[in-house]
Chain A
Amino acid sequence: MTSEPQIVQFTPFSSLVQPSFWHSLTKLKIDVLKLSQDEVPVTASYAAGRSVTDRETGQDVALGCNLILGGDAFEKTAQVPPHSVKCVGTLKNYNTIEEFKDADKPALFNKLADEMWDEISSAKDASDVSEILNRFLLITFADLKKYRYYYWFAFPAFAAKPAWTLDPSGWQGVESTFTQEALSNIQSQITTSTNTPAFFVLLSNANDPSRFEIHPLSSLESLSDQDITVGFIDPSAHSDHPGWPLRNLLAFLASRFRTRFTTPGSQHLKVRVLCWRDTEAVPVSGKWKSRLGTVSLSQSQSTLSRPSAVGWEKNPQGKLAPRLADLAPMMDPARLADQAVDLNLKLMRWRILPSLDLDRVASTRCLLLGAGTLGCFVARTLLAWGVRNITFVDSAVVSFSNPVRQPLFEFEDCLNGGKPKAQCAADSLKKIFPGVNSKGISMSIPMPGHPIPPGNVEQAKADVAQLEKLFDEHDAVFLLMDSRESRWLPTVLGAAKGKIVMNAALGFDSYLVLRHGARKGASTAPKGSPERLGCYYCNDVVAPADSLSDRTLDQMCTVTRPGLASIASSTAVELLVSLLQHPDGVNAPAPPPDYKDENVEESPYRSVLGLVPHQLRGFLAQFRTLPIVGAAYDKCTGCSETVLKAYESQGFDMLLQAFNESDYLEKLTGLDKLHEEGEAALEAVDWDEDDDDM
């Protein structure tokens, strides 16, 4: 009784795609393929089958018959890992998911199988057949917006009919046939060749039958009747199932060397096959993994037409359907940018200033009143410090003169009447760094001496209420507007609400950066330092009247040296950051102008980042910056207690009076009396403000 011979079952290839391959495909699609759907060659490799020890159960688990694609798959000189076999396949990338879905897959598959069969049956020299036997097909669709890659592999293998059967002795360990010495010798021949041979012929040495030699497949042409073993690097680790490459090798042998392998007097092909699986360290006796077996095919005559082929890869759910690689977790650009900003700053802290409190800077919510030249530069520098909450307030629209000087705007923003600057600046910040929480509010800030028509009072009231709310929602306020008077209301609100107020103004080639003194003042102001530092209006005893309409055009359209705005803006932000790092924060005492910074740790003036001056006046004509300290003025129209108390007790009514009556603030503070005494002497140095129109 003979039992039914067992069919040889082959372990199919299973693809293993490294993330770097998808990055390379992305580059290829963007730089080379663009919209082309041409087929491109792609290099892959496989190595001898391996098992790994399960860390939980301690059992050996056979890894799949892996065909590996790496980042250099599209390189002409793709490097293949050591002891691996190089395979060249064809990649076809589709531009849309629909085209990918609708592709005639059987046609693509059959086209490749036809080509393979043509080359197998026509190849003059059997030595160059190795690459043909391992050809594969890869179709892809790369969704570059979502970093998702759909793909499907096919590894065409010619199916023998009837199938190859296994001799009753089955697949056996090589140690039952070969000595340890012979095996080591075979191994060293395989592993030391420059290109690991995918397929080979194993012959015993004519002089010493215990020794074996590796020959290329082409040697089959010339070999006389010898005891031939055909070998291949076997990517399968299943003890009873050889890997996929053997299928096409057997198809090739049956087609090309039919008579050689036909047992005399029978119609049976018989091939002794060595499945080589030992390519790493030389195993100790008893540990060799390579297998040996004899397979037969009962085929009465050679097939001239191409046998049918199989080999589409199944997806992880076991279906014949495409697979998906999702690289979004590591590629989402918003998250990458977020991390990069943090990392730069952390590096600074780690390298230079371990005690720098970056969180304190990053968590400071900044309100930028004015989205002109100063506002744009201030926002960029805040962004670089990791500040994540930035709100712009501006009533203007982007004009054609803006983009070259104001780095958050582009030519496009000026078209169709111009976009509102505040919102446009906020959107632009998000474009630069999506992680920022930026807002833009179009609003004009009411000004003293600019009467509000009765019909607009409700609107003004609403605007003031909105501005008050904005102050409550932010920690630091930058005064970067284009007029002196518009700084008055924010000065009052900042002082009343105890906010950090940073002020910047530009002349032609000089600038002023100043921090407003806190209302309470430094409780422990060192000797020589004012108890309370002044505001923008303290040093300038002219009440903020309507200077806009008084000014000539030249004054309105302030001409400033182009580099000045970024110098002043950066100075303002750096002053804020130094202040935030000072233990007293907004109450940090200002060093006297003649203060010699001896780098004394205990100095009351020092923060981690050094001194926190009150005012900086810069003169570009001399490339000089002067620190200045100015005390608060008790008759100041912006920050004096009289003004603050009037605002706190009367609210909007008081503000309305200030807007409508040009002499209200002077009367309130008693400045009018002083004024009469020496009007002419009071023309102070006029600090022109940032202006958008030039």
Chain B
Amino acid sequence: MFTRGEFEIACKSLAENATIDNPQLKGWTWREHPEYGGLGYLERSSTTTCRSQSTETEEFLEELCEEDAATLDTPSTNFIRIWQSIAYNVSFQMPVFYLSVYTNEGTPFSLPHIVDRTSLLLFRPRRDDGDGGDFEVSKYAIQVPGATMPLVSQGEHPTLGTPCYYLHPCETQGALAELVEADGRTKDDKKAGENTRKLELWLLLVGNAVDLRV
């Protein structure tokens, strides 16, 4: 569906319009690999107010003492940090959506944790009918029963090499082709806009599986 060049063009144009008021399209930044070209990706970060637990460091006692009236005593609130990224997958010739959810410390949440916190609703499968439980969550995969591949599984980010969760591109590939076909705009627009539109449609599909509000 995309060559790497087309992917880059589409991503950069999305990043240029990062201030757009659309929860799926806003806030993306284009990043390059520090050493090699052709490995760029999009990323954005967001925070939700859902409280998270921090790991206690029991082995440490309060070591220091600082008395200072000019320091605001802030309540120690923990937020859930969400990092999203879009990278190119050569074998599918498709963008792939990567996700990492962690605490202020950088401690990642496991998939069951992410899904269990229903107030977070990061993954959508159970949403539409309001009836949960029609997909299986293991430590590193979310599987829709009957589907050949898991919807979400753990893998490495192709540029950063860090473990993330990602949405399998296999399902989106066919669906995107249909969407592009049904969407007149991609044909009429000029070549440059075509890829951007395709990427937007792809994000629309991803939005069906993942809560993309930021």
Give the bracket for the number of chain B residues in contact with chain A: 35 or more
Is A18 engaged at the interface, CB distance under 8 Å to the other chain? yes
- B2-60 contacts to A (CB < 8 Å): 18-19, 21, 29, 31-32, 34, 45-50, 54-57, 59-60
Of residues B55, B62, B64, B105, which shows the largest number of chain A Cβ atoms within 10 Å of its Cβ?
B105
A82 near B63: Cβ-Cβ < 8 Å: no
| Contact of B153 (CB < 8 Å), options: A7, A159, A339 | A339
**Distance between A454 CB and nearest chain B CB, rounded to angstroms:** 56
**What is the number of residues of chain A that contact chain B, defined by CB distance less than 8 Å?**
77
Interface bits A157-186 vs B (CB < 8 Å: 1, else 0): 001100110000000000000000000000
Other-chain residue from A16, A247, A327, A346 in contact with B81 (beta carbon distance below 8 A):
A16
Cβ A310 vs Cβ B106 within 8 A = no
In the complex, the answer to whether A10 meets B71 with C-beta atoms within 8 Å is yes
Cβ < 8 Å to B, chain A residues 53-97? 53-56, 61, 63-65, 71-72, 75, 77, 79, 81-82, 97
Question: Which residue from B57, B140, B170 sits with its C-beta under 8 Å from A315?
Answer: B57
Contact residues of B: prevailing secondary structure: loop
CB distance A317 to B139 under 8 Å?
no
Beta-carbon contact of A318 and B76 below 8 Å: yes
A350 to B174, CA, bound (A): 14
Interface string of B109-152 (1 = CB under 8 A from A): 11000000001000000000000000000011100000011100
Docked-complex contact B69 and A16, CB < 8 angstroms? no
Q: Is A72 in contact with B34, judged by CB distance below 8 angstroms?
A: yes
B 163-180 to A, binary, CB cutoff 8 A, 1 in contact else 0: 100000010000000000
In the bound complex, what is the Cα–Cα distance between A7 and B45 (angstroms)? 34
**Interface with A: B154-162, B181-189, B202-210, which one?**
B154-162
Which of A20, A22, A339 makes the CB contact (< 8 A) with B160?
A20
**Residue contact B163 to A336, C-beta cutoff 8 Å:** yes
Q: A15–B108 contact, CB under 8 A?
A: no
A52 touching B70 by the CB < 8 A rule?
no
CB–CB A52/B149 < 8 A: no
Residue of B whose beta carbon sits closest to that of A331: B163
Q: Are the C-beta atoms of A17 and B104 separated by less than 8 Å?
A: yes
Instruction: Determine if A322 and B148 form an interchain contact, defined as CB atoms under 8 angstroms apart.
Output: no
Point out the residue from B29, B48, B102, B108 that lies within 8 Å of A81, measured CB to CB. B29
Contact string, A206-229, partner B, CB cutoff 8 A, digits 1/0?
000000000000000000000000
Interface residue B196 (Cβ < 8 Å from any Cβ of A):
no
- 8 A Cβ contacts from A11-25 to B: 11-12, 14-23
The smallest beta-carbon distance between A271 and chain B, in angstroms, is 15
Given A61-B49, A71-B162, A238-B72, residue A55 in contact with residue B62 (CB < 8 A): no
A5, CB-defined interface residue at 8 Å: no
Q: In the bound complex, how far is the Cα of B81 from the Cα of A521, in angstroms?
A: 62
B163 lies within 8 A of A310 (CB): no
- Would you list which residues of chain A between 303 and 333 have a CB under 8 Å from chain B? 310-312, 314-327, 329-331
Please determine whether B47 and A63 come into contact, CB atoms closer than 8 angstroms: yes
Asked if A17 and B57 make an inter-chain contact with CB atoms under 8 angstroms apart, the answer reads no
Q: Give the docked Cα–Cα distance between A17 and B108 (Å).
A: 11
Are A11 and B72 closer than 8 Å at their CB atoms? yes
Which of A14, A79, A318, A327 contacts B108, CB < 8 Å? A327
Is there an interface contact between A75 and B163, defined as CB atoms closer than 8 Å?
no
Contact of A312 among B45, B49, B64, B153 (CB under 8 A): B64
Say which residue of B56, B63, B140, B161 sits within 8 Å of A339 (CB atoms).
B140
For the complex, give the distance between the alpha carbons of A384 and B202 in Å.
Answer: 34
Contact indicator A314/B102 (Cβ below 8 Å): no
Is A336 within 8 A of B154, CB to CB?
yes
- Cα of A9 to Cα of B72 in the assembled complex, Å: 5
Chain A residues, Cβ within 8 Å of B150: 346
A280 at the interface (CB under 8 A from B): yes
Which residues on the A side are within 8 Å of B161 (C-beta)? 23
B93 at the interface (CB under 8 A from A): no
Measured between beta carbons, the chain B residues less than 8 angstroms from A354 are 148
Query: A493 CA to B23 CA in the complex, in Å?
Result: 66
Let me know if B72 and A241 touch, CB within 8 A.
yes
Restricting to A335-360, which residues have a CB under 8 Å from any CB of B? 335-336, 339, 343, 346-347, 349-350, 354
Interface centre among A20, A65, A335 (most CB of B within 10 A): A20
Contacts of A316 in B (CB 8 A): 54, 76, 78, 104-105
**Docked pose: A63 CA to B83 CA in angstroms:** 16
Q: Among the listed B54, B69, B153, which residue makes an inter-chain contact with A163, where contact means beta carbons less than 8 Å apart?
A: B69
List of A residues within 8 angstroms of B32 by Cβ: 79
The answer to whether B102 and A18 have CB atoms under 8 Å apart is: yes
| A150 interface hit (Cβ, 8 Å) | yes
- Nearest-CB distance from A318 to chain B (Å)? 5
When distances are taken between beta carbons in the complex, the residues of chain A under 8 Å from B119 are 55-56
Judging by beta carbons under 8 Å apart, are A55 and B48 in contact?
Answer: yes
Q: How far is the CA of A75 from the CA of B75 in the complex (A)?
A: 33
A321 and B108 in contact, given A150-B57, A159-B68, A339-B153 (Cβ under 8 angstroms): no
Q: Is A8 an interface residue (CB 8 A)?
A: yes
The chain A residue with its CB closest to the CB of B19 is A281
A320 near B64: Cβ-Cβ < 8 Å:
yes
Residues on A with C-beta less than 8 A from B18 are 82
Q: Which residue of B lies closest to A19 (CB)?
A: B106
Chain A stretch 583-638: residues in CB contact (< 8 A) with chain B? none
Interchain CB contact (< 8 A) of B68 among A19, A310, A349: A310
What residues of A have a CB within 8 angstroms of the CB of B109 in the complex? 329
Partner of B57, one of A54, A63, A324, A339: A324
Given contacts A105-B64, A324-B57, A339-B154, contact A11 B74 (CB under 8 A): yes
Whether the pair B70, A160 counts as a contact (CB closer than 8 A) is yes
Residue from the set B21, B57, B141 with the largest chain A CB neighbour count within 10 Å: B57
Q: Which of A75, A314, A346 contacts B149 (CB 8 A)?
A: A346
Specify which chain A residues have a CB less than 8 angstroms from the CB of B90 in the assembled complex.
none
Instruction: Verify A324–B105 contact, CB threshold 8 A.
Output: yes
Contact check, B72 vs A330: say whether CB atoms are below 8 A apart. no
B102 closest partner in A (C-beta): A19
Would you give the shortest CB distance from A81 to chain B, in whole angstroms? 6
**Is A286 engaged at the interface, CB distance under 8 Å to the other chain?**
no
| In the complex, chain A residues 87-142 whose Cβ is within 8 Å of any chain B Cβ | 97, 101, 105-106
Min C-beta distance of B106 to chain A, whole Å:
4
Are B154 and A159 in contact (CB-based, < 8 A)? Answer: no
Chain A residue with the shortest CB-CB distance to B108: A330
Given contacts A14-B104, A23-B162, A72-B34, contact A329 B110 (CB under 8 A): yes
List, sorted by A's number, 10 A–B pairs whose CB atoms are closer than 8 Å: A10-B70, A19-B162, A106-B64, A316-B104, A321-B62, A324-B107, A327-B107, A339-B154, A346-B149, A350-B148
**Top 6 nearest A-B pairs by Cβ distance?**
A316-B54, A325-B105, A17-B106, A54-B49, A330-B163, A9-B72
- Other A-B pairs beyond A9-B69, A315-B76, 10, CB < 8 Å: A15-B104, A17-B105, A19-B102, A19-B108, A23-B162, A323-B54, A324-B105, A330-B108, A339-B140, A343-B153
B interface residues (Cβ-Cβ under 8 A, vs A): 18-19, 21, 29, 31-32, 34, 45-50, 54-57, 59-66, 68-72, 74-79, 81, 83, 100, 102-110, 119, 139-141, 148-150, 153-155, 160-163, 170
